Amino acid sequence: MQNYVSQIKEGGIVAFPTETVYGLGASATNPSAIAKVFEQKGRPSDNPLIVHISSIDQLSDFTNYPLPKFAPQLMEKFWPGPLTIVIPKKASVLDSITAGLDTVAVRMPNHALALDFIQQTGPLVAPSANKSSRPSPTKASHVLADFGSSFPVIDGGPTEVGLESTVLDLTSEKPTILRPGSISKAEIEECLNSEVLEDNQQTDKPKSPGQKYSHYKPNAEVHWLTSEDEIDQDDTLFLLVNSETSEEHIVGYDGDYQKLARELYDRFRQADLHGYKKVIIEPFHKNNSPVAAALLNRIEKAIGK
């Protein structure tokens, strides 16, 4: 760990596990380290980064107090955890982090290794540790597949949640979900006892610029299962969320949406490694599970809608 801490302090970048996906960490106060993150990922510079902190006192480097109305309650309830809040930024926050916006996105990951690492390095920007357009990494091996076998990565095993954090804007009149994640709209509404909006980002200039890019995609074509599909095409990987069947290319999840969330990106990557031409997923409704809305969002993006 010490070696990785030194690499960050010297302006390098190191991948590390969080509960959502692996992050590509760089010091949130080092412009050239941040430039390396964009360069290594091939990330468009108008896609802002999330600042990851390990303790609440670090927040004052990024925003002025008092915090927006709902922030303290949300931090109390969901941090450390997969909730990113978008709040007004302090003037000193680097433009490369916020893509020139006047807000900054911050979260505290719920992962012992990540918290220990950030405690020693100071706050880190940490976009998902994949090349842009590849599925996010949920295992250290995914990071190495994208960045090469000698890339520095802290291996914490497979990540627990498997999908990126919920991004919640607290700078609008009502709290607004900019990206769904495993913390659902209903859970946030219950915590705040107030209505939460969802921004479907269907504009050329979405509030969360990252949402206009199609990521999360394998090379295989992804689509929803229809009545015309035969479930025995062997060039196809089937993911059946409400079935029990399990064969090599037919994976049943028996209603376990959390498990599908945990495995989705690995399945996408496996599909490419095994040369499947298609990944066909059984449709489901966003009310089926707290994580269903986030799954639908990632799958729709992989389909290319």
Which residues in this chain contact ligand AMP in the complex, by CB under 6 A?
47-50, 86, 98, 101, 103-105, 127-128, 164, 167, 178-179, 207-211
Torsional sign, CA 148, 153, 155, 156? negative
- Helices 2-9, 112-121: axis angle to 10 degrees equals 50
Q: Which does 103 bind (CB under 5 to 8 A by kind): Mg ion, ligand AMP, none?
A: ligand AMP
- CA torsion sign for 176, 56, 62, 97 is negative
What is residue 14's three-state secondary structure?
Answer: strand
Among the listed residues 129, 130, 128, 126, the one whose alpha carbon sits nearest the alpha carbon of residue 218: 130
Out of ligand AMP, Mg ion, none, what residue 167 binds, judged by CB under 5 to 8 A for its kind, is: ligand AMP
Using CB under 5 A as the binding rule, whether residue 211 contacts Mg ion is answered as: no
Please identify the residue of the shown chain whose CB is closest to the bound ligand AMP.
210
Q: Per rule CB under 5 A, is residue 165 in the interface with Mg ion?
A: no
Give which of ligand AMP, Mg ion, none residue 209 binds (C-beta under 5 to 8 Å, depending on kind). Answer: ligand AMP
Asked if residues 297 and 197 have their Cβ atoms less than 8 Å apart, the reply is no
CB of 233 to ligand AMP, least distance (A): 33
Contact between 117 and 25 (Cβ < 8 Å): yes
Asked if 128 interacts with Mg ion (CB under 5 A), we say: yes
Choose the contact partner of 105 out of Mg ion, ligand AMP, none; CB within 5 to 8 A by kind.
ligand AMP
CB of 124 to ligand AMP, least distance (A): 11
Residues that bind Mg ion (CB under 5 A): 128
